[in-house]
Amino acid sequence: MSVFRDSVALITGAGSGIGRHLALLLAAEGAKIAALDLRPDGLASLAAELAGKPIATAVADVTDVVALRAAVAELEGTLGPTDLLIASAGVGRGTPATAWRAEDVNAVLNVNLLGVVNSIDAVLPGMRQRRRGHLVVLSSLASYRGMPHMAAYSASKAGCNALCDSLRVELAPEGIAVTTVCPGWVRTPMTTAIGIPDGVMVPVGPAAQIIVRAIRRRQAFLSFPAGMAWQAWLMRNLPRPVGDWMAGLLLRRIQALQARG
Ligand code: NAD
């Protein structure tokens, strides 16, 4: 029997991409899905696809902690307390130095970092009371070092890694696991807009399967695909001039791929 059977999985950003596919996989294994997103359309189509299975949906903004707490309380009222939080809501806007605006940087940090803080806030007191639970945060390989044109995104995801590392140590004695997930490029609506060809991207279905496997094992950290993860590791750990050179090379490669369409 699946470890997810009859458990309640709260997924932020469940209306699209990775969050949506995780919802479908977990529902197939018998989990009750508490799906939350800013946009109602994705939630409605997810609920239609999971018709007949236990699912509750809520439209809420993860940057609004008061509204988020209320939405999670409502979802838990319908399905029961959250066993598993998957914080997948995120935005992928570029913030190049040539068009630097504090508002753009703040917007990315607000959703990708503070939105995770708020999501954890909405479930952690209950998990601590029950002395069980699992927090899963969608970070990124872009967290390994500041990537050019992605300063805000990289900073937000590096912040997520730090949050997870701190909480993992503190919460282990309370029976609560913490998993940091660092994917490379995954083909979703977020990355479609970037204009990179399919060959470079992991399709979202297999990506979600890899993530579910790590969640099942209550793994501390997951990065994939292996080649990209190695590249990111080298960029972070080689002497800075070499890492900077590699990051510049990667930027030019991405720009060339985008130009080719
Ligand atoms: P996506 O755009 O397909 O889905 C993101 C979802 O988050 C959307 O449904 C959106 O409505 C929701 N969302 C955005 N802002 C929100 C807010 N303020 N409140 C509530 N919901 C909000 O993107 P995705 O590719 O599935 O990304 C999921 C997560 O994985 C993100 O955190 C992203 O940074 C991370 N990630 C994605 C990739 C990739 O290549 N796709 C790689 C690494 C990490």
CA distance 161 to 231: 18
Looking at residue 199, its pLDDT comes to 79
Nearest residue by C-alpha to atom 41 in ligand 1: 186
Residue 108, Cβ density class (10 Å: 0-12 exposed, 13-18 middle, ≥19 buried) = buried
Q: What is the pTM of this model?
A: 0.97
Looking at residue 13, its pLDDT comes to 98
Kindly give the pairing relationship between strand 176-183 and strand 133-138: parallel
- Span from the CA of 1 to the centroid of ligand 1 (angstroms): 30
- Span from the CA of 36 to the centroid of ligand 1 (angstroms): 12
- Span from the CA of 205 to the centroid of ligand 1 (angstroms): 15
pLDDT < 70 stretches in the chain: 261
- Span from the CA of 15 to the centroid of ligand 1 (angstroms): 9
Contact 189, 17 (CB under 8 A): yes
Residues with CB under 6 A from ligand 1: 12-13, 15-19, 37-39, 42, 61-63, 88-92, 111, 115, 138, 140, 183, 185-186, 188-191
Atom of ligand 1 nearest to the CA of 112: 32
Q: Which of 80, 92, 95, 89 is nearest to 7 (CA)?
A: 80
Ligand 1 pocket test: which of 72, 137, 188 has the largest number of ligand atoms within 8 Å of its C-beta?
Answer: 188
- 153 an active-site residue? yes
Looking at residue 85, its pLDDT comes to 99
Which of 4, 144, 153, 185 is catalytic? The answer is 153
Residue 25 amino acid letter: L
Q: CA–CA distance from 254 to each of 68, 120, 189, 210 (Å)?
A: 36, 34, 18, 25
Evaluated on CA atoms 178, 170, 146, 157, the torsion sign reads: positive
CA distance 145 to 243: 9
- Span from the CA of 241 to the centroid of ligand 1 (angstroms): 32
Atom of ligand 1 nearest to the CA of 63: 18
Looking at residue 194, its pLDDT comes to 76
